[in-house]
Amino acid sequence: MNDMSDGYVTADGRQIGGVIMEMKNITLRFGGVVAIKDISFDIREGEIRAIIGPNGAGKSSMLNVISGFYIPTEGEVWFHGYKRGPMRPYQVARLGIARTFQNIALFDGMSVLDNIMTGRLTHMKSGLLAQAGWWWTGAAKEEDEHREKVEKIIDFLEIQNIRKTPVGRLPYGLKKRVELARALAAEPKLLLLDEPMAGMNVEEKEDMSRFILDVNDEFGTTIVLIEHDMGVVMDLSDRVVVMDYGKKIGDGTPDEVRNNQDVIDAYLGVAHD
Amino acid sequence: MFYREAGDFKTSYREDSQTFPIKFDRLRYYVVLAIAFGIVPLFINDYWANAVAVPFLIYAIAAIGLNILVGYAGQVSLGTGGFMAVGAYAVYKLMTAFPEVSIFIHVILAGGITAAVGVLFGLPSLRIKGFYLAVATLAAQFFLVWLFNKVPWFYNYSASGQINAPERTMFGVFVTGAQTSAMAKYMFCLVMLTIVALIARNLTRGTVGRKWMAIRDMDIAAEIIGVNPLTTKLSAFAVSSFFIGIAGALFFAVYLGAAEVGEAFGIQKSFLILFMVIIGGLGSIFGSFAGAAFLVLLPVFLKNVLVGTLGWPTDLAAHIELMIVGGLIVTFLIAEPHGLAQLWRVAKEKLRLWPFPH
């Protein structure tokens, strides 16, 4: 797995494209605490890339760097061949990067439909005045067009029956699904999933895994995911980055990572002399 | 009852997302509009206009404005009285400076000026939230009232420090000044309220409203999915102040006719309108109407019952009335913290199945 300048073919036969995002020597410090230390890796078009590591390894911080919520202390983020300058998170969203959160961050006061519609807002053009006019200024028409796209996602994730339910009333597993729907509604080029299976039972995990694979397959969305469930990670992902104490200790296919001595040591512990 | 959605199929997304998705509701809405525009004006007299109808209409406009800021965008404001004063003084200056321009345009312009002032005082919201923001807007309230008291230019150097609305007509009918008929006052405010309510509904049902609610519910997540917090918060302040400015302009020019800033637009006004929004229901246009109706009608109703029916002395009734209104507000907030709009929603849910609960 050294030279992959024109992509590679995965174990299940999917063609993976060129690099769309590259992290170059990322370091992130909070005062004296070093959360991420000199990490480099790339993300290729169409692949499912996992970031794993023990608790406190810096996985979520890494995801926050990718999503623009944290600005790295040192290092560069390259996206689609351009170096990304310091940006506000909403500007990153407009580049086509969407994410879900470890502890669900939905808008509780709004219905499922409205929550997913917020995912479309980077694509919606009408401003205040157009909105005020509604029927006469095309805002209603725009709303309908986007509603149609959102309905496709609702069908895709099988949440038709809860369309009009306020999100606050939903059970945990469904909330996670609605959050995925909201991220998908943005039609992202890069989708970041922060522990999509955390706190789920086996059945819900299976559902979620199926949705992740389907999203990748059907929309060709590049996915970066953080997950603790090793079985899920090894089954879903094409390539895995392993972090420990803010450093990268492994990078490669699930099989390569599984047999990496540093990774085994980090997870199982190693006797100190 | 006819309150059913059975058999009322929606064949387009437009139909599915309309304001009143149930046929009976829609019908009721048209009936209310028809009564408000066609029947009430024929019977309205000075007492009903001045005690009930006109204050209700104007407070409803202000409550819609504040509800957009507090209920939809989640930014607490105690500066409503101050912003109403901006609307009142703006319309006064405009009316005296350009007497030939239509009063309708002046009222809209006054709203625009208030929107600009609102954005200015909304700037702290980018840094602070919740109670701290409430305190910052309280500063706006006191500063604006002080400003209109201290700078004589605002009241055209009149000796009393008051502002008096000059007489203006629309289509040959007086709408401000002493000669205005009850019907003209009522119709002018009703038209304004209808426009404001429609705009508010359109803004809150679409992408702008969703941005506001996203910021209200979880601002960090909102920013990560692409909401610009700066423009979103400031647009909420602008729209809210625009409506409140219109309410202030009408309150002075149509309702009071003459105003002294500390008395007409003091801190009590800010609280009154905030109570309307809370009692009516945060984040609901209907709630703004309900809250305004509750707080305007209740005192009038109590006064009529206590003085008219029971024959109590007026001063005693006035005090008891304050206590009853206060008590009701507290009871009400404990019993239904989500306001009249929530009660209404629950009632509608029940009606949908009535009389067969299963």
User: How confident is the prediction along chain A (273 residues), in pLDDT tens digits per residue?
Assistant: 444 566 788 777 778 888 889 999 999 999 888 899 999 999 999 999 999 888 888 888 999 899 888 889 999 999 888 888 888 888 888 888 999 988 888 998 889 999 999 989 888 887 888 888 888 888 888 888 898 899 999 998 888 888 888 898 898 888 999 999 999 999 898 999 998 888 888 888 998 999 999 999 888 899 999 988 888 888 889 999 998 888 898 898 888 888 888 888 887 777 666
| Whole-prediction pTM | 0.88
- Judging contacts by C-beta atoms under 8 Å, the chain B residues touching residue A121 are 207, 210-211, 225-227
Are A92 and A27 found together in one domain? yes
Q: Judge contact between A248 and A261, C-beta under 8 A.
A: no
Nearest chain A alpha carbon to B338: A109
B312 occurs within a structural domain? no
Angle at B268 between CA B110 and CA B339, to 5 degrees: 95
Q: What would the pLDDT profile of B183-222 be if each residue is shown by its tens digit?
A: 888 999 999 999 999 999 999 988 999 999 999 998 888 9
Looking at A180, A203, A238, the residue that finishes a domain is A180
Residue B254 lies in a domain: yes
Residue A176 is assigned to a structural domain of this protein: yes
pLDDT of res. A1:
42
Residue B235: closest C-alpha in chain A: A128
Evaluate whether residue A107 is within a structural domain. Answer: no
Instruction: Provide the sign of the torsion angle of the four alpha carbons B225, B226, B229, B233, taken in this order.
Output: negative
Set of chain A residues whose Cβ sits within 8 Å of the Cβ of B227: 90, 118, 121
A195 and A250: one domain? yes
Cβ contact, residue pair B283, A133, below 8 Å: no
Do A83 and A206 lie in a common domain?
A: yes
E strands along chain B, which residues?
163-164, 168-170, 173-176, 258-259
Using left for φ > 0, alpha for ψ between -120 and 50, and beta otherwise, residue B165 falls in beta
DSSP conformational letter for B18: S
User: Do both A237 and A220 map to the same domain?
Assistant: yes
In a domain, B130, yes or no: yes
Domain housing A150: 112-180
Q: Based on the domain organization, do A197 and A92 belong to the same domain? A: yes
Residue finishing a domain among A122, A156, A180: A180
* Chain B: residue whose CA lies nearest to A66: B224
Average pLDDT over residues B78-87: 94
Residue with tokens 């202000």: B62
B129 in any annotated domain? yes
Q: Is A106 part of any domain? A: no
3-state secondary structure of A166: strand
Number of domains in chain B: 1
Q: Are A81 and A194 within one domain? A: yes
How far apart, in whole angstroms, are the C-alpha atoms of residue A188 and residue A195?
18
**A104-113, A239-248, B34-43, B113-122: segment of lowest average pLDDT:** B34-43
* Domain around B197: 44-266
Range in A10-14, B113-117, B124-128 the model is least confident about: A10-14
B195 touches chain A (CB under 8 A): no
Q: How far apart are CA B217 and CA B208, in angstroms?
A: 14
Q: A242 with A171, same domain?
A: no
- Are B207 and A88 an interchain contact pair (Cβ–Cβ within 8 Å)? no
Nearest to B239 by CA among B133, B115, B358, B98: B115
Predicted pLDDT of residue A87: 85
* A84 plus A16 within the same structural domain: yes
- Residues in chain B with CB shorter than 8 Å from the CB of A119 are 225
CATH of the domain at A44: 3.40.50.300
Give the pairing type, strands A19-30 and A190-194: unpaired
Domain contains B142:
yes
Express each pLDDT in B325-345 by its tens digit: 888 878 877 887 788 888 888
Any B CB within 8 A of A106 CB: yes
Which residues in A20-59 are b (16+ Cβ under 10 Å) and which e? bbbbbebbbeeeeebbbbebebbbbbbbbbbbbbeeebbb
Asked whether residue B342 is domain-assigned, the answer is no
| Residue-level pLDDT at A2 | 43
Residue in this structure with the two tokens 């999100």, named with its chain if needed: A167
Give the model's pLDDT for residue B198: 92
- Helix (H), strand (E) at residue B350: helix B339-353
pLDDT in tens, B234-288: 999 999 999 999 999 999 999 988 888 888 898 999 999 998 898 888 888 999 9
* Prediction ipTM score: 0.86
Question: Quick check: B224 and A139 CB within 8 A?
Answer: no
State the amino acid at position B304 in one-letter form: N
Secondary structure (3-state) at A272: coil
CB B144 within 8 A of CB B83: yes
- Does some domain include residue B160? yes
Does the CB of B14 have a partner CB in chain A at under 8 Å?
Answer: yes
Check whether residue A80 and residue A158 sit in a common domain.
no
A118 and A77 in a common domain = no
Chain A residues closer than 8 Å to B281 by CB? none
Tell whether A205 is covered by a domain: yes
User: Among A128, A150, A180, which residue terminates a domain?
Assistant: A180
Q: At what angle do helices B80-97 and B103-122 cross, to 10 degrees?
A: 140
Q: Which of B194, B211, B225 to mutate to test the interface with A (most CBs of A within 10 A)?
A: B225
Chain A residue with CA closest to B201: the answer is A132
What single letter denotes the amino acid at residue A241? V
Higher-pLDDT residue of A271, B146: B146
Quote the number of domains for chain A: 2
Identify the pLDDT of residue B358: 62
